[in-house]
A and B are shown apart, each in its own frame.
Chain A
Amino acid sequence: MENNQTDIKKTPTAAVAFAWLLVSVPLLWGVFQTLAKTVALFQYKN
Protein backbone atom coordinates (compact mmCIF):
# COMPACT_ATOMS: atom_id res chain seq x y z
CA MET A 1 0.00 0.00 0.00
CA GLU A 2 1.36 3.38 -0.99
CA ASN A 3 1.96 5.95 1.75
CA ASN A 4 0.12 9.23 1.00
CA GLN A 5 2.73 11.20 2.93
CA THR A 6 5.36 10.40 0.26
CA ASP A 7 3.12 12.01 -2.41
CA ILE A 8 3.17 15.38 -0.66
CA LYS A 9 5.36 17.80 -2.59
CA LYS A 10 6.56 20.46 -0.18
CA THR A 11 7.20 24.01 -1.43
CA PRO A 12 10.98 24.28 -1.94
CA THR A 13 12.67 26.60 0.53
CA ALA A 14 14.29 28.36 -2.44
CA ALA A 15 10.86 29.28 -3.80
CA VAL A 16 9.86 30.80 -0.46
CA ALA A 17 13.20 32.66 -0.27
CA PHE A 18 12.76 33.95 -3.84
CA ALA A 19 9.26 35.22 -3.09
CA TRP A 20 10.50 37.11 -0.03
CA LEU A 21 13.49 38.48 -1.96
CA LEU A 22 11.22 39.74 -4.73
CA VAL A 23 9.19 41.87 -2.33
CA SER A 24 12.05 42.78 0.01
CA VAL A 25 14.32 44.34 -2.63
CA PRO A 26 11.93 47.14 -3.67
CA LEU A 27 10.85 47.67 -0.07
CA LEU A 28 14.44 48.03 1.16
CA TRP A 29 15.24 50.31 -1.80
CA GLY A 30 12.30 52.53 -0.84
CA VAL A 31 13.30 52.54 2.84
CA PHE A 32 16.89 53.44 1.90
CA GLN A 33 15.75 56.27 -0.38
CA THR A 34 13.51 57.62 2.38
CA LEU A 35 16.08 57.38 5.15
CA ALA A 36 18.72 59.03 2.94
CA LYS A 37 16.54 62.15 2.97
CA THR A 38 16.50 62.26 6.77
CA VAL A 39 20.20 63.18 6.84
CA ALA A 40 19.16 66.76 6.02
CA LEU A 41 17.08 66.86 9.21
CA PHE A 42 19.92 65.78 11.47
CA GLN A 43 22.42 68.14 9.81
CA TYR A 44 20.06 71.12 9.85
CA LYS A 45 21.38 74.52 10.90
CA ASN A 46 19.51 77.79 10.24
Chain B
Amino acid sequence: MSAFSFLDRDHTIAPPGYSRWLVPPAALAVHLCIGQAYALSVFNLPLSRLLGIKESLPGDWGLTTTVWIFNIAFVFLGLSAAVFGKWLERVGPRKAMFASACCFAGGFLISAIGIYLHQIWFLYLGYGVLGGIGLGLGYISPVSTLIKWFPDRPGMATGMAIMGFGGGAMIGSPLADNLMKFYATSTSVSVWETFLTMGIVYFVFMMFGVFTVRVPAPGWKPEGYVVPTTQTNSLITTANVTADEAIKTPQFYFLWIVLFMNVTAGIGILAQASPLIQETFLLKGITAPTADQTKNAAAAAAGFVGLLSFFNLIGRFFWSSLSDKIGRKPTYMIYLGLGCALYALIPSLANAGNLALFVGTFCLILTMYGGGFATIPAYLRDMFGTMQVGAIHGRLLTAWSAAAIAGPSIVTYLRDYQINSGIPKAQAYSTAIYVMAGLLVIGFISNLMIKPVDSKHHFKEETAPVAPPEPETARIQQGATA
Protein backbone atom coordinates (compact mmCIF):
# COMPACT_ATOMS: atom_id res chain seq x y z
CA MET B 1 0.00 0.00 0.00
CA SER B 2 1.40 3.38 -1.03
CA ALA B 3 2.14 6.08 1.53
CA PHE B 4 -0.09 8.33 -0.55
CA SER B 5 -3.06 5.96 -0.66
CA PHE B 6 -4.99 8.41 1.54
CA LEU B 7 -5.26 10.54 -1.60
CA ASP B 8 -7.11 7.84 -3.53
CA ARG B 9 -10.74 8.32 -4.43
CA ASP B 10 -11.68 5.19 -2.45
CA HIS B 11 -10.35 6.78 0.72
CA THR B 12 -12.27 10.00 0.24
CA ILE B 13 -15.77 8.56 0.25
CA ALA B 14 -17.74 10.33 2.96
CA PRO B 15 -18.71 8.15 5.91
CA PRO B 16 -22.31 8.17 7.11
CA GLY B 17 -23.05 11.39 8.99
CA TYR B 18 -20.42 13.49 7.17
CA SER B 19 -21.71 17.05 6.77
CA ARG B 20 -21.70 18.31 3.20
CA TRP B 21 -21.15 21.82 4.63
CA LEU B 22 -17.49 20.87 5.15
CA VAL B 23 -16.94 20.67 1.39
CA PRO B 24 -17.32 24.41 0.56
CA PRO B 25 -14.64 25.42 3.12
CA ALA B 26 -12.36 22.71 1.67
CA ALA B 27 -12.91 24.20 -1.79
CA LEU B 28 -12.43 27.73 -0.46
CA ALA B 29 -9.11 26.73 1.13
CA VAL B 30 -7.80 25.96 -2.35
CA HIS B 31 -9.42 28.84 -4.23
CA LEU B 32 -8.43 31.48 -1.66
CA CYS B 33 -4.80 30.47 -2.27
CA ILE B 34 -4.73 30.13 -6.04
CA GLY B 35 -6.69 33.39 -6.42
CA GLN B 36 -3.40 35.06 -5.45
CA ALA B 37 -2.56 34.88 -9.17
CA TYR B 38 -4.70 37.97 -9.76
CA ALA B 39 -2.51 39.88 -7.28
CA LEU B 40 0.79 39.06 -8.98
CA SER B 41 1.18 42.67 -10.13
CA VAL B 42 2.02 43.63 -6.52
CA PHE B 43 5.52 42.23 -7.29
CA ASN B 44 6.03 44.24 -10.50
CA LEU B 45 7.83 47.16 -8.91
CA PRO B 46 9.97 45.17 -6.41
CA LEU B 47 10.98 42.70 -9.15
CA SER B 48 12.20 45.64 -11.22
CA ARG B 49 14.52 46.76 -8.37
CA LEU B 50 16.21 43.52 -7.33
CA LEU B 51 19.65 44.89 -8.24
CA GLY B 52 19.13 48.62 -7.71
CA ILE B 53 17.00 48.28 -4.51
CA LYS B 54 15.83 51.93 -4.50
CA GLU B 55 15.56 52.30 -8.27
CA SER B 56 15.94 50.09 -11.34
CA LEU B 57 19.46 49.57 -12.70
CA PRO B 58 20.23 48.67 -16.34
CA GLY B 59 20.44 44.91 -15.49
CA ASP B 60 17.09 44.90 -13.66
CA TRP B 61 13.98 43.30 -15.18
CA GLY B 62 11.43 45.59 -16.84
CA LEU B 63 7.64 45.25 -16.84
CA THR B 64 7.73 43.76 -20.34
CA THR B 65 9.87 40.92 -18.90
CA THR B 66 7.93 40.26 -15.69
CA VAL B 67 4.46 40.49 -17.27
CA TRP B 68 5.19 37.17 -19.02
CA ILE B 69 5.10 35.36 -15.67
CA PHE B 70 1.38 36.24 -15.42
CA ASN B 71 0.68 35.48 -19.09
CA ILE B 72 2.39 32.07 -18.96
CA ALA B 73 0.59 31.17 -15.72
CA PHE B 74 -2.83 31.92 -17.25
CA VAL B 75 -2.08 30.04 -20.45
CA PHE B 76 -1.07 26.99 -18.38
CA LEU B 77 -4.14 27.42 -16.19
CA GLY B 78 -6.35 26.93 -19.24
CA LEU B 79 -4.23 24.15 -20.74
CA SER B 80 -3.93 22.13 -17.53
CA ALA B 81 -7.64 22.49 -16.75
CA ALA B 82 -8.43 21.20 -20.24
CA VAL B 83 -5.84 18.38 -20.24
CA PHE B 84 -6.18 17.10 -16.65
CA GLY B 85 -9.98 17.35 -16.33
CA LYS B 86 -10.62 13.68 -17.17
CA TRP B 87 -7.77 12.57 -14.87
CA LEU B 88 -9.39 14.58 -12.07
CA GLU B 89 -12.74 12.86 -12.63
CA ARG B 90 -10.97 9.48 -12.37
CA VAL B 91 -8.76 10.07 -9.32
CA GLY B 92 -11.10 12.33 -7.36
CA PRO B 93 -10.74 15.81 -5.85
CA ARG B 94 -8.28 15.00 -3.05
CA LYS B 95 -5.45 13.80 -5.28
CA ALA B 96 -6.09 16.69 -7.69
CA MET B 97 -6.05 19.24 -4.86
CA PHE B 98 -2.82 17.73 -3.53
CA ALA B 99 -1.22 17.92 -6.98
CA SER B 100 -2.46 21.50 -7.26
CA ALA B 101 -0.91 22.43 -3.89
CA CYS B 102 2.42 20.83 -4.85
CA CYS B 103 2.51 22.62 -8.20
CA PHE B 104 1.31 26.00 -6.92
CA ALA B 105 3.57 26.06 -3.85
CA GLY B 106 6.41 24.48 -5.84
CA GLY B 107 6.07 27.30 -8.35
CA PHE B 108 6.62 29.82 -5.55
CA LEU B 109 9.69 27.96 -4.28
CA ILE B 110 11.32 27.67 -7.73
CA SER B 111 10.55 31.34 -8.33
CA ALA B 112 12.16 32.24 -4.99
CA ILE B 113 15.36 30.54 -6.17
CA GLY B 114 15.10 32.38 -9.48
CA ILE B 115 14.71 35.74 -7.74
CA TYR B 116 17.67 34.95 -5.46
CA LEU B 117 19.83 34.03 -8.51
CA HIS B 118 18.23 36.77 -10.66
CA GLN B 119 17.30 34.25 -13.37
CA ILE B 120 13.95 35.11 -14.99
CA TRP B 121 13.59 31.62 -16.54
CA PHE B 122 13.11 30.18 -13.07
CA LEU B 123 10.08 32.44 -12.67
CA TYR B 124 8.69 31.56 -16.09
CA LEU B 125 9.04 27.83 -15.38
CA GLY B 126 8.26 28.08 -11.65
CA TYR B 127 5.30 30.41 -11.18
CA GLY B 128 4.42 30.45 -14.90
CA VAL B 129 4.41 26.79 -15.97
CA LEU B 130 4.33 24.82 -12.69
CA GLY B 131 2.25 27.39 -10.81
CA GLY B 132 -0.09 27.72 -13.81
CA ILE B 133 -0.70 23.96 -13.78
CA GLY B 134 -1.45 24.25 -10.05
CA LEU B 135 -3.91 27.04 -10.82
CA GLY B 136 -5.76 25.01 -13.43
CA LEU B 137 -5.92 21.85 -11.32
CA GLY B 138 -6.95 23.75 -8.20
CA TYR B 139 -9.62 25.76 -10.00
CA ILE B 140 -11.51 22.76 -11.37
CA SER B 141 -10.79 20.21 -8.62
CA PRO B 142 -13.68 20.99 -6.24
CA VAL B 143 -16.30 21.94 -8.86
CA SER B 144 -17.57 18.49 -9.80
CA THR B 145 -17.55 17.38 -6.14
CA LEU B 146 -19.56 20.42 -5.01
CA ILE B 147 -22.15 19.85 -7.73
CA LYS B 148 -22.55 16.24 -6.56
CA TRP B 149 -22.89 17.29 -2.89
CA PHE B 150 -25.37 20.06 -3.71
CA PRO B 151 -27.66 18.73 -6.47
CA ASP B 152 -30.38 20.98 -5.06
CA ARG B 153 -28.24 24.17 -5.16
CA PRO B 154 -25.37 23.68 -7.64
CA GLY B 155 -25.09 27.36 -8.53
CA MET B 156 -24.75 28.46 -4.93
CA ALA B 157 -22.22 25.70 -4.14
CA THR B 158 -19.87 26.37 -7.04
CA GLY B 159 -20.40 30.11 -6.56
CA MET B 160 -19.00 29.84 -3.05
CA ALA B 161 -15.81 28.15 -4.26
CA ILE B 162 -15.29 30.44 -7.22
CA MET B 163 -15.95 33.43 -4.97
CA GLY B 164 -12.82 32.25 -3.14
CA PHE B 165 -10.75 32.78 -6.29
CA GLY B 166 -11.87 36.41 -6.32
CA GLY B 167 -11.08 36.70 -2.61
CA GLY B 168 -7.63 35.21 -3.11
CA ALA B 169 -6.40 38.38 -4.80
CA MET B 170 -7.67 40.48 -1.90
CA ILE B 171 -5.61 38.36 0.49
CA GLY B 172 -2.58 37.86 -1.74
CA SER B 173 -1.89 41.53 -2.39
CA PRO B 174 -1.79 42.85 1.22
CA LEU B 175 -0.12 39.62 2.40
CA ALA B 176 2.74 40.10 -0.09
CA ASP B 177 2.96 43.79 0.77
CA ASN B 178 3.21 43.10 4.51
CA LEU B 179 5.75 40.30 4.05
CA MET B 180 7.99 42.44 1.86
CA LYS B 181 7.89 45.19 4.50
CA PHE B 182 8.63 42.62 7.24
CA TYR B 183 11.69 41.17 5.47
CA ALA B 184 12.95 44.44 3.93
CA THR B 185 16.57 45.44 4.60
CA SER B 186 18.77 48.18 3.17
CA THR B 187 20.40 45.62 0.83
CA SER B 188 17.35 43.65 -0.32
CA VAL B 189 13.79 44.26 -1.53
CA SER B 190 12.99 40.88 0.10
CA VAL B 191 11.01 39.38 -2.74
CA TRP B 192 12.58 35.91 -2.63
CA GLU B 193 11.92 35.63 1.11
CA THR B 194 8.30 36.67 0.48
CA PHE B 195 7.88 34.07 -2.29
CA LEU B 196 9.37 31.37 -0.06
CA THR B 197 7.07 32.25 2.85
CA MET B 198 3.98 32.49 0.66
CA GLY B 199 4.77 29.12 -0.93
CA ILE B 200 4.92 27.44 2.47
CA VAL B 201 1.84 29.24 3.88
CA TYR B 202 -0.26 28.47 0.80
CA PHE B 203 0.82 24.80 0.82
CA VAL B 204 -0.22 24.37 4.46
CA PHE B 205 -3.55 26.14 3.90
CA MET B 206 -4.31 24.07 0.81
CA MET B 207 -3.60 20.90 2.81
CA PHE B 208 -6.61 21.78 4.96
CA GLY B 209 -8.72 21.50 1.81
CA VAL B 210 -6.97 18.27 0.80
CA PHE B 211 -7.69 16.54 4.12
CA THR B 212 -11.23 17.91 4.49
CA VAL B 213 -12.71 17.21 1.06
CA ARG B 214 -14.84 14.09 0.60
CA VAL B 215 -16.89 12.71 -2.27
CA PRO B 216 -20.44 11.54 -1.64
CA ALA B 217 -21.02 7.80 -1.66
CA PRO B 218 -22.79 6.36 -4.70
CA GLY B 219 -26.52 6.82 -4.30
CA TRP B 220 -26.19 9.55 -1.68
CA LYS B 221 -28.64 12.43 -1.82
CA PRO B 222 -29.49 15.28 0.56
CA GLU B 223 -32.23 14.57 3.06
CA GLY B 224 -35.60 15.31 1.52
CA TYR B 225 -34.17 15.73 -1.99
CA VAL B 226 -35.98 13.82 -4.71
CA VAL B 227 -33.91 13.10 -7.80
CA PRO B 228 -35.97 14.43 -10.71
CA THR B 229 -36.70 11.85 -13.39
CA THR B 230 -37.97 14.47 -15.81
CA GLN B 231 -37.24 18.17 -15.70
CA THR B 232 -39.78 20.94 -16.13
CA ASN B 233 -36.95 23.08 -17.48
CA SER B 234 -35.88 21.44 -20.75
CA LEU B 235 -32.40 22.94 -20.42
CA ILE B 236 -31.70 20.81 -17.33
CA THR B 237 -30.83 17.31 -18.44
CA THR B 238 -31.23 14.12 -16.45
CA ALA B 239 -28.75 12.38 -18.78
CA ASN B 240 -24.95 12.56 -18.87
CA VAL B 241 -22.53 13.52 -21.63
CA THR B 242 -18.82 12.61 -21.50
CA ALA B 243 -16.15 15.30 -21.90
CA ASP B 244 -15.05 13.84 -25.24
CA GLU B 245 -18.62 13.86 -26.50
CA ALA B 246 -19.41 17.33 -25.09
CA ILE B 247 -16.86 18.99 -27.35
CA LYS B 248 -18.71 17.54 -30.35
CA THR B 249 -21.87 19.45 -29.44
CA PRO B 250 -22.71 23.02 -30.58
CA GLN B 251 -23.80 23.79 -27.00
CA PHE B 252 -20.19 23.53 -25.79
CA TYR B 253 -19.04 26.11 -28.34
CA PHE B 254 -21.97 28.46 -27.67
CA LEU B 255 -21.06 28.34 -23.97
CA TRP B 256 -17.39 28.87 -24.85
CA ILE B 257 -18.36 32.03 -26.77
CA VAL B 258 -20.61 33.20 -23.91
CA LEU B 259 -17.80 32.81 -21.37
CA PHE B 260 -15.18 34.31 -23.69
CA MET B 261 -17.26 37.42 -24.45
CA ASN B 262 -18.27 38.00 -20.83
CA VAL B 263 -14.70 37.58 -19.55
CA THR B 264 -13.10 39.61 -22.37
CA ALA B 265 -15.36 42.57 -21.65
CA GLY B 266 -14.83 42.41 -17.88
CA ILE B 267 -11.13 41.63 -17.76
CA GLY B 268 -10.35 44.29 -20.38
CA ILE B 269 -11.80 46.95 -18.12
CA LEU B 270 -10.50 45.45 -14.88
CA ALA B 271 -6.93 45.36 -16.20
CA GLN B 272 -7.09 49.04 -17.22
CA ALA B 273 -9.31 50.26 -14.37
CA SER B 274 -6.67 52.43 -12.72
CA PRO B 275 -5.59 54.48 -15.77
CA LEU B 276 -9.20 54.50 -17.02
CA ILE B 277 -10.64 56.32 -14.01
CA GLN B 278 -7.65 58.62 -13.72
CA GLU B 279 -7.80 59.71 -17.34
CA THR B 280 -11.58 59.86 -17.76
CA PHE B 281 -12.42 61.32 -14.36
CA LEU B 282 -9.85 62.05 -11.67
CA LEU B 283 -7.35 63.99 -13.80
CA LYS B 284 -9.81 65.06 -16.49
CA GLY B 285 -8.94 68.50 -17.85
CA ILE B 286 -5.62 68.69 -15.97
CA THR B 287 -2.87 68.85 -18.58
CA ALA B 288 0.11 69.00 -16.18
CA PRO B 289 -0.85 67.48 -12.81
CA THR B 290 1.25 68.37 -9.76
CA ALA B 291 2.98 65.64 -7.75
CA ASP B 292 0.23 65.86 -5.11
CA GLN B 293 -2.56 65.60 -7.68
CA THR B 294 -0.88 62.58 -9.27
CA LYS B 295 -0.43 60.91 -5.88
CA ASN B 296 -4.04 61.55 -4.81
CA ALA B 297 -5.39 60.33 -8.15
CA ALA B 298 -3.29 57.14 -7.94
CA ALA B 299 -4.58 56.44 -4.40
CA ALA B 300 -8.19 57.06 -5.45
CA ALA B 301 -7.70 54.85 -8.52
CA ALA B 302 -6.31 52.06 -6.29
CA GLY B 303 -9.49 52.44 -4.23
CA PHE B 304 -11.57 52.11 -7.41
CA VAL B 305 -9.73 48.90 -8.37
CA GLY B 306 -10.29 47.54 -4.85
CA LEU B 307 -14.00 48.35 -5.03
CA LEU B 308 -14.30 46.58 -8.38
CA SER B 309 -12.56 43.50 -6.92
CA PHE B 310 -15.02 43.52 -4.02
CA PHE B 311 -18.06 43.64 -6.32
CA ASN B 312 -16.48 40.96 -8.51
CA LEU B 313 -16.35 38.78 -5.37
CA ILE B 314 -19.93 39.55 -4.28
CA GLY B 315 -21.27 38.90 -7.78
CA ARG B 316 -19.79 35.42 -7.83
CA PHE B 317 -21.94 34.31 -4.93
CA PHE B 318 -25.03 36.46 -5.55
CA TRP B 319 -25.63 35.74 -9.23
CA SER B 320 -24.74 32.03 -9.11
CA SER B 321 -27.14 31.56 -6.17
CA LEU B 322 -29.85 33.49 -8.01
CA SER B 323 -29.32 31.26 -11.06
CA ASP B 324 -30.60 28.30 -9.00
CA LYS B 325 -33.93 30.16 -8.76
CA ILE B 326 -34.33 31.79 -12.18
CA GLY B 327 -32.34 29.39 -14.37
CA ARG B 328 -28.94 29.60 -16.00
CA LYS B 329 -29.98 30.90 -19.43
CA PRO B 330 -32.00 33.87 -18.05
CA THR B 331 -29.11 34.68 -15.70
CA TYR B 332 -26.70 34.95 -18.65
CA MET B 333 -29.30 37.03 -20.51
CA ILE B 334 -29.01 39.51 -17.65
CA TYR B 335 -25.18 39.43 -17.60
CA LEU B 336 -24.91 39.97 -21.34
CA GLY B 337 -28.00 42.13 -21.99
CA LEU B 338 -27.86 44.42 -18.96
CA GLY B 339 -24.06 44.39 -19.17
CA CYS B 340 -24.19 45.63 -22.77
CA ALA B 341 -26.62 48.43 -21.86
CA LEU B 342 -24.45 49.53 -18.93
CA TYR B 343 -21.25 49.52 -21.01
CA ALA B 344 -22.98 51.66 -23.64
CA LEU B 345 -23.96 54.17 -20.93
CA ILE B 346 -20.45 54.63 -19.55
CA PRO B 347 -19.11 57.27 -22.00
CA SER B 348 -22.23 59.40 -21.32
CA LEU B 349 -21.82 58.99 -17.56
CA ALA B 350 -18.19 60.06 -17.84
CA ASN B 351 -19.21 63.17 -19.79
CA ALA B 352 -21.95 63.94 -17.26
CA GLY B 353 -19.27 64.10 -14.55
CA ASN B 354 -21.15 62.09 -11.89
CA LEU B 355 -18.45 60.05 -10.13
CA ALA B 356 -20.87 58.06 -7.93
CA LEU B 357 -22.97 56.95 -10.91
CA PHE B 358 -19.84 56.16 -12.94
CA VAL B 359 -18.34 54.04 -10.15
CA GLY B 360 -21.68 52.40 -9.32
CA THR B 361 -22.21 51.34 -12.94
CA PHE B 362 -18.76 49.74 -13.08
CA CYS B 363 -19.41 47.95 -9.78
CA LEU B 364 -22.64 46.45 -11.17
CA ILE B 365 -20.82 45.40 -14.36
CA LEU B 366 -18.12 43.69 -12.29
CA THR B 367 -20.70 41.70 -10.30
CA MET B 368 -21.84 40.22 -13.61
CA TYR B 369 -18.26 39.55 -14.72
CA GLY B 370 -17.70 37.52 -11.53
CA GLY B 371 -21.14 35.95 -11.83
CA GLY B 372 -20.25 34.71 -15.31
CA PHE B 373 -17.35 32.69 -13.91
CA ALA B 374 -19.33 31.31 -10.99
CA THR B 375 -22.47 30.29 -12.87
CA ILE B 376 -20.81 28.44 -15.75
CA PRO B 377 -20.18 25.13 -13.87
CA ALA B 378 -23.89 24.87 -13.01
CA TYR B 379 -24.82 25.76 -16.61
CA LEU B 380 -22.54 22.91 -17.76
CA ARG B 381 -24.17 20.56 -15.29
CA ASP B 382 -27.59 21.52 -16.62
CA MET B 383 -26.50 20.85 -20.21
CA PHE B 384 -24.19 17.82 -19.84
CA GLY B 385 -25.07 16.20 -16.48
CA THR B 386 -22.78 15.59 -13.51
CA MET B 387 -20.71 12.62 -14.69
CA GLN B 388 -17.74 14.51 -16.18
CA VAL B 389 -18.74 18.10 -15.50
CA GLY B 390 -15.30 18.87 -14.00
CA ALA B 391 -13.54 17.75 -17.17
CA ILE B 392 -15.97 19.67 -19.40
CA HIS B 393 -15.50 22.76 -17.21
CA GLY B 394 -11.74 22.37 -17.57
CA ARG B 395 -12.00 22.39 -21.36
CA LEU B 396 -14.30 25.41 -21.32
CA LEU B 397 -11.76 27.38 -19.27
CA THR B 398 -9.60 27.76 -22.39
CA ALA B 399 -12.08 30.60 -23.06
CA TRP B 400 -10.77 32.32 -19.92
CA SER B 401 -7.14 31.97 -21.01
CA ALA B 402 -7.97 33.42 -24.43
CA ALA B 403 -9.99 36.26 -22.90
CA ALA B 404 -7.23 37.10 -20.40
CA ILE B 405 -5.03 37.95 -23.38
CA ALA B 406 -7.70 39.40 -25.70
CA GLY B 407 -9.49 41.73 -23.24
CA PRO B 408 -6.58 43.86 -22.00
CA SER B 409 -4.99 43.86 -25.49
CA ILE B 410 -8.16 45.22 -27.16
CA VAL B 411 -8.64 47.98 -24.55
CA THR B 412 -4.98 49.03 -24.57
CA TYR B 413 -4.69 48.97 -28.36
CA LEU B 414 -7.87 50.99 -28.95
CA ARG B 415 -6.95 53.53 -26.25
CA ASP B 416 -3.50 54.08 -27.76
CA TYR B 417 -4.99 54.30 -31.26
CA GLN B 418 -7.49 56.95 -30.10
CA ILE B 419 -4.79 59.01 -28.39
CA ASN B 420 -2.50 58.79 -31.44
CA SER B 421 -5.43 59.99 -33.56
CA GLY B 422 -5.63 63.16 -31.46
CA ILE B 423 -8.58 62.22 -29.22
CA PRO B 424 -8.26 63.69 -25.67
CA LYS B 425 -7.26 61.12 -23.02
CA ALA B 426 -10.57 61.62 -21.20
CA GLN B 427 -12.45 60.25 -24.24
CA ALA B 428 -9.86 57.71 -25.37
CA TYR B 429 -11.67 54.73 -23.83
CA SER B 430 -15.06 55.34 -25.49
CA THR B 431 -14.39 53.21 -28.57
CA ALA B 432 -12.98 50.35 -26.47
CA ILE B 433 -16.06 50.44 -24.25
CA TYR B 434 -18.43 50.36 -27.24
CA VAL B 435 -16.45 47.41 -28.64
CA MET B 436 -16.88 45.60 -25.30
CA ALA B 437 -20.64 46.27 -25.49
CA GLY B 438 -20.57 44.77 -29.00
CA LEU B 439 -18.81 41.65 -27.71
CA LEU B 440 -21.55 41.22 -25.13
CA VAL B 441 -24.16 41.36 -27.93
CA ILE B 442 -22.35 38.42 -29.62
CA GLY B 443 -22.38 36.58 -26.28
CA PHE B 444 -26.11 37.37 -25.86
CA ILE B 445 -26.93 35.90 -29.28
CA SER B 446 -24.79 32.84 -28.53
CA ASN B 447 -26.66 32.31 -25.28
CA LEU B 448 -29.98 32.59 -27.13
CA MET B 449 -28.86 29.80 -29.49
CA ILE B 450 -28.40 27.30 -26.63
CA LYS B 451 -30.85 24.41 -26.82
CA PRO B 452 -30.89 21.03 -25.03
CA VAL B 453 -28.15 18.60 -26.10
CA ASP B 454 -29.26 16.06 -28.71
CA SER B 455 -29.88 12.65 -27.11
CA LYS B 456 -27.43 11.01 -29.55
CA HIS B 457 -24.63 12.55 -27.44
CA HIS B 458 -25.96 11.09 -24.17
CA PHE B 459 -23.84 8.57 -22.32
CA LYS B 460 -25.02 5.00 -22.71
CA GLU B 461 -23.37 2.55 -20.35
CA GLU B 462 -23.17 -0.38 -22.72
CA THR B 463 -21.46 1.58 -25.51
CA ALA B 464 -19.18 4.06 -23.77
CA PRO B 465 -17.24 2.66 -20.81
CA VAL B 466 -15.71 5.97 -19.76
CA ALA B 467 -17.55 6.62 -16.51
CA PRO B 468 -15.40 6.93 -13.39
CA PRO B 469 -14.98 3.47 -11.87
CA GLU B 470 -17.07 2.76 -8.81
CA PRO B 471 -14.76 2.39 -5.79
CA GLU B 472 -14.47 -1.14 -4.41
CA THR B 473 -15.25 0.04 -0.94
CA ALA B 474 -18.36 1.89 -2.04
CA ARG B 475 -21.13 1.76 0.45
CA ILE B 476 -24.61 3.10 0.02
CA GLN B 477 -24.91 6.10 2.26
CA GLN B 478 -28.16 7.63 3.26
CA GLY B 479 -26.99 9.07 6.54
CA ALA B 480 -24.79 11.97 5.45
CA THR B 481 -26.27 15.18 6.72
CA ALA B 482 -27.54 18.01 4.61
Contact = CB atoms under 8 A, between A and B. Distances in A.
Tell me whether chain A's interface is mostly helix, strand or loop, or mixed.
helix
B310 to A, nearest CB: 6
Contacts of B205: 26
B295 to A, nearest CB: 10
Given A8-B17, A30-B171, A39 B212 contact: no
Nearest to A13: B19
A8 B313 contact: no
Nearest to B169: A30
B19 to A, nearest CB: 4
Interface in B1-46: 15-19, 21-22, 25-26, 28-29, 32
A23 B28 CA distance: 7
Contacts of B297: 44, 46
A30 B302 CA distance: 15
Interface residues of A, number: 30
Interface in B130-166: 164
Given A8-B17, A10-B481, A46-B286, A23 B164 contact: yes
Nearest to B292: A46
B406 interface: no
Given A11-B19, A11-B481, A22-B208, A42 B25 contact: no
A35 interface: yes
A16 B21 contact: yes
B282 interface: yes
B359 interface: yes
B293 A15 contact: no
A5 B32 contact: no
Given A22-B208, A23-B164, A30-B174, A46 B296 contact: yes
Contacts of A9: 15-17
B306 interface: yes
A8 to B, nearest CB: 4
A21 to B, nearest CB: 9
A26 to B, nearest CB: 5
Given A10-B19, A44-B300, A20 B307 contact: no
A33 B296 contact: no
Contacts of B296: 40, 44-46
Interface residues of B, number: 47
Given A19-B22, A41-B300, A46 B15 contact: no
A42 to B, nearest CB: 7
B25 A23 contact: yes
A42 B359 CA distance: 10
B220 interface: no
B300 A8 contact: no
A22 B16 contact: no
Contacts of A38: 303-304, 306-307, 310
B107 interface: no
B17 A10 contact: yes
B170 interface: yes
Contacts of A16: 19, 21-22
B167 interface: yes
B283 interface: yes
B282 A44 contact: yes
Nearest to B300: A44
Contacts of B306: 34-35, 37-38
B309 interface: yes
A32 to B, nearest CB: 9
B357 interface: no
Q: Which 7 pairs across A and B sit closest by C-beta, in order of nearness? A: A41-B303, A30-B170, A30-B171, A11-B19, A19-B25, A44-B300, A40-B299
Given A19-B25, A40-B303, 18 more contacts: A9-B16, A11-B18, A15-B19, A20-B25, A23-B32, A23-B164, A26-B32, A26-B171, A27-B28, A27-B164, A27-B167, A27-B170, A34-B174, A38-B306, A41-B359, A44-B299, A44-B300, A46-B296
14 contacts: A8-B17, A15-B19, A16-B19, A19-B22, A19-B26, A26-B205, A27-B170, A30-B167, A34-B309, A35-B310, A38-B304, A41-B300, A44-B282, A46-B297
